[in-house]
Structure 1
Amino acid sequence: MGPLFPAWLKWQVDLTYLDISSTGITDRFPDWFSSSFSKITSLDISNNRISGALPKNMGNTSLGSLYSRSNNISGRIPQLPRNLEILDISRNSLSGPLPSDFGAPKLDMISLFSNYITCQIPLFVCELNLYSLDLANNLLEGELPQCFSTKDMAFLLLSNNRFSGKFPPFLENCTTLSFLDLARNKFSGTLPMWIGNLGELQFLRLSNNMFHGHIPNNITSLSKLYHLNLAANGISGSIPHHLSNLTMITTPYVHVPGAVVASFQSIVGDMPVVIKRQELEYKGVAILEILSIDFSCNYLTGKIPEEITSLGGLINLNLSWNQLNGGLPKKIGDMQMLESLDFSNNDISGEIPSSLSNLTYLSILDLSYNHLAGIIPSGVQLDTLYTEYPSIYNGNTGLYGPILHKSCSVNNNAPQRDHQQRSKKVSESTLFFYFGLGSGFVAGLWVVFCALLFKKAWRVAYFRFFDKVHDKAYVFIIVTWGRFARKR
């Protein structure tokens, strides 16, 4: 058994602040927890192995902030302290529905991600003036309460649940919203036009839902946006133009103000991001460094806007599994920060721009299963990528070049076509010859047969002729056999 709650804490009844995080405690909450810590306003017991349920009488304490992230706490959430403002019980094993009344009207930050909480969000949350709500990675379901009236919400993280309904309409009034994650749910309908009015949005992830319709053109008004993920929906239409208005992504390096860093560190936990063909987790402010656009697995059509190359700070660009056509942007080499580029499984045609060889940071490239043609640009990075991932050009029969050990398709195929044409002519001549021979033979037989059938004199002469031939052959064979026998 590991370390217990230190016994001497039982007598520290005047403590107002206590941090015993990451101390290896494997104990359950002691009976004296609520009475001894009745004056504590800030308690941090995160990153231990504390088990069992939260104390039922903790509502009697003076806690203003409770951090108990990454433990083994189970059971339901009890009545909370009335003065509680910050509640973080993420990465535990809490289960059951949320309480209908938290008992803490001052709550402005709730973080319960990665538990086993079920049922719907209670209407009580509508009475809270929330700044941050993180319920990601639970078993919550149903539609979101439409009574939200908070205008100060900056973080709403609801990914990987079973929420349904339309895009939350109450968000139209959340003009301070900077972090919105609704990924991996069952939301449906179209994206609202007013989404472009959420000018503080920095992170927008709506992937793996059932949204349809077009991408609102004014989404490019979100000048502070650095992460946009609409993958795996039913979105159609074209990619919006005026992408250069996404000024946060046009610059290679993001300068994050200190206040924002502090906010992210205390609120945003580990965030999974699909990049480089795998889901990677980034902690806190590190997510701000992943400038990404992912529109993959939709029904987008039309050309890739040339203006997309103005997004020089992008690290990840994924437009795969759509119905995009036209050519690749000629200045794609201007996106020199790209580490992952995926245009596979579209209807893109034309040549691969030579500027692609300028992307020296690329570690993932996939142009497979399009209609690309012409010579593949050469370069140290591109050659290395092909060596590691030889399938990156698959399904483009018109591509050639030294890297594929295939010369120009026109020269390669010309002799073969001449040979095929000559073979075809020979085959046709032979076919006509045998067809004529067979036809003549059949016609000759019919002439002889008809002549014998209708001319009696010819028929008698015909049979007499064969009788004479038969007699002569018989005499010849007998005489020859007799001579041969005498010689023996």
Structure 2
Amino acid sequence: MDIMSLDALYFSSNNLTGQIPPLPRNLSVLDISRNSLSGPLPSNFGAPNLDLIALYSNYISGQIPTSICELSLYGLDLANNLFEGELPQCLNMSRMTYLLLSNNISFSGNFPPFLRSCTSLSFLDLSWNRFSGTLPMWIGSCSSLQFLRLNHNMFYGHIPNNITSLTNIYHLNLAANWISGVIPPHLSNLTFMTRRYILDPYKDVPAGFQDIIGELLIDTKGQQLNYHGAGVLEILSIDLSSNHLTGKIPDGITSLDGLVNLNLSRNQLNGEVPDKIGAMQSLESLDLSNNNLFGEIPSSISNLTFLSILDLSYNNLTGRIPSGRQLDTLYTGNPSMYDGNTGLCGRPLQRNCGSNNTSEHGDEKRDEHHSGPMFFYFGLGIGYVVGLWVVFCALLFQKAWRIAYFRLVGRFYDKIYVFVVITWKSFTRKADVR
């Protein structure tokens, strides 16, 4: 067999080393991922019909050559290598469906402007690099996007409001950037996330998916989990953590009842936790920690029976913690999930809401019980003293009143004296007769 006539080359997961050699001219698929290849990409691939290149998990370095723009690629996976510099400004990329450049550390420059013409773009992963600038307003027009990971870069500015036009998206990760402003309000427009997703491998796996998607590390449930192949399609996730977002959590987010992972932690969000958070029945991981949220934890949160991770720590939440066997189990696995909320009380914390309230009301009742008689006697004494001073002052300054007073006292004394003498004489007479 003439190797130069090959149209597909699969050498994935071997121990290949060295640089990429000249390629067969008729080659359309090149998969040499998960090897130990090094050095730069060839300046000319020598295979003008290439439409899929999978080189992830090697040690290839340098910049992407401009010759790649001459190819009509639908898939390019250069993740987990040592590439650097800006991406070439290709114009002929309208077929691009999968562009995976994560974990190269040194890719830089703005959000790739040539992606605006990629109407078929479904998977875009630029995570763990040094891309910067603002997210373009036209990102909402990439209507085919299903998977968007821009986390761990240096993007800044606001999240474009029209990002909610991505009705097919099921994985959105903008974590660990410098993004500010509010969360777009119309998240209910992300209709793919509004239903529990059950993968149909014959219908839901996009064309070419198995060839280009090998394995992906997904941040969920408080850790990085490795998903292989079509398994990643079942992780409906929004991660906006570790940014500078402000404002309230939009109520519309509770309509995304197919969402499995929601992480809004380490921002500056305020307001209350949405009251209907319990409607997100598919949630397995919910992290709202390290924000400025206040108010009570909605009782509906106990309806999230699939939860395996819950973190509400370091906010300003107050009131009684909702009860529920699921929440108690989560606390056992993560006893720090309520830390930093000094206003929370009730099980499973040691601060008992009921006893505190009873004690306070009891003290008030005891105070009322003791203070009632005390105020009565105090008022009686004050009245007595004031009355004496009124009489004393009247006698002191009114001569006629003094004369009348002493005459009254004298008459009263005389009557008492006469009554006592007569009574005494009568008593002694009776005693003598006996």
Q: TM-score with structure 2 length normalisation?
A: 0.81
Aligned pair in 2 of structure 1 residues 66, 331: CA closer, same or farther (>3 Å)?
same
Structure 2, unmatched stretches of 5+, are 365-434
The equivalent residue for 1:114 is: 57
> Does the Cα contact within 8 Å between 1:88 and 1:111 map onto a contact in 2?
yes
Residue 191 (structure 1) aligned to one of 114, 131, 135: 135
SS in 1 for 2:30: strand
SS in 1 for 2:87: coil
SS in 1 for 2:157: strand
**Larger RCO (CA within 8 A; separation ≥ 6):** 2
Structure 2: distance between partners of 1:97 and 1:382 = 52
> Does the Cα contact within 8 Å between 2:199 and 2:234 map onto a contact in 1?
no
SS in 2 for 1:403: coil
Task: Measure how far apart 1:255 and its partner are.
Answer: 4.9
Task: Measure how far apart 1:266 and its partner are.
Answer: 2.2
**Counterpart check, 1:252 vs 2:157:** no
Size of the aligned set, in residue pairs, is: 361
Question: After the TM superposition, which residues 70-469 of structure 1 pair with which residues of structure 2 at under 5 Å, given as runs?
Answer: 70-161=13-104, 162-256=106-200, 258=202, 260-261=204-205, 263-408=208-353, 411=357, 414=360
Structure 2: distance between partners of 1:312 and 1:415 = 42
Structure 1: distance between partners of 2:198 and 2:139 = 23
The equivalent residue for 1:43 is: none
Structure 2: distance between partners of 1:204 and 1:122 = 24
SS in 1 for 2:115: helix
Q: 146-155 or 74-83, which moves further after superposition? A: 146-155
> Does the Cα contact within 8 Å between 2:151 and 2:175 map onto a contact in 1?
yes
Task: Measure how far apart 1:256 and its partner are.
Answer: 4.6
Task: Measure how far apart 1:405 and its partner are.
Answer: 2.9
> Does the Cα contact within 8 Å between 1:254 and 1:288 map onto a contact in 2?
no
Task: Measure how far apart 1:411 and its partner are.
Answer: 2.9
Structure 1: distance between partners of 2:150 and 2:169 = 14
> Does the Cα contact within 8 Å between 2:76 and 2:212 map onto a contact in 1?
no
In structure 1, what residue type is equivalent to 2:267? Answer: N
Task: Measure how far apart 1:265 and its partner are.
Answer: 1.8
Task: Measure how far apart 1:414 and its partner are.
Answer: 4.7
> Does the Cα contact within 8 Å between 1:125 and 1:148 map onto a contact in 2?
no
Structure 1, unmatched stretches of 5+, are 1-36, 39-57, 419-488
Aligned pair in 2 of structure 1 residues 376, 335: CA closer, same or farther (>3 Å)?
same
In structure 2, what residue type is equivalent to 1:348? Answer: L
Q: Write out per-residue CA displacement over residues 208-232 of structure 1, whole angstroms, 9 at most, x where no aligned residue.
A: 0000000000000000000000000
Task: Measure how far apart 1:272 and its partner are.
Answer: 0.7
> Does the Cα contact within 8 Å between 1:356 and 1:377 map onto a contact in 2?
yes
State the Cα RMSD in Å: 1.7
SS in 2 for 1:72: coil
Structure 2: distance between partners of 1:417 and 1:141 = 70
Task: Measure how far apart 1:254 and its partner are.
Answer: 4.2
Task: Measure how far apart 1:380 and its partner are.
Answer: 0.8
Q: TM-score with structure 1 length normalisation?
A: 0.72
> Does the Cα contact within 8 Å between 2:150 and 2:173 map onto a contact in 1?
yes
Q: Write out per-residue CA displacement over residues 279-313 of structure 1, whole angstroms, 9 at most, x where no aligned residue.
A: 11111111000000000000000000011000000
Structure 2: distance between partners of 1:224 and 1:264 = 16
Q: Write out per-residue CA displacement over residues 40-71 of structure 1, whole angstroms, 9 at most, x where no aligned residue.
A: xxxxxxxxxxxxxxxxxx6xx21100011111
Structure 2: distance between partners of 1:313 and 1:395 = 30
Structure 2: distance between partners of 1:375 and 1:351 = 7
In structure 1, what residue type is equivalent to 2:289? Answer: S
In structure 1, what residue type is equivalent to 2:197? Answer: Y
In structure 2, what residue type is equivalent to 1:267? Answer: I
> Does the Cα contact within 8 Å between 2:93 and 2:115 map onto a contact in 1?
no
In structure 1, what residue type is equivalent to 2:324? Answer: G
> Does the Cα contact within 8 Å between 1:135 and 1:158 map onto a contact in 2?
yes
Structure 1: distance between partners of 2:350 and 2:334 = 16
Structure 2: distance between partners of 1:413 and 1:73 = 74
Structure 1: distance between partners of 2:56 and 2:311 = 34
In structure 2, what residue type is equivalent to 1:333? Answer: G
Aligned pair in 2 of structure 1 residues 412, 212: CA closer, same or farther (>3 Å)?
farther
Structure 1: distance between partners of 2:210 and 2:65 = 28
Task: Measure how far apart 1:258 and its partner are.
Answer: 2.4
SS in 2 for 1:373: strand
Identical amino acids, percent of aligned pairs: 66
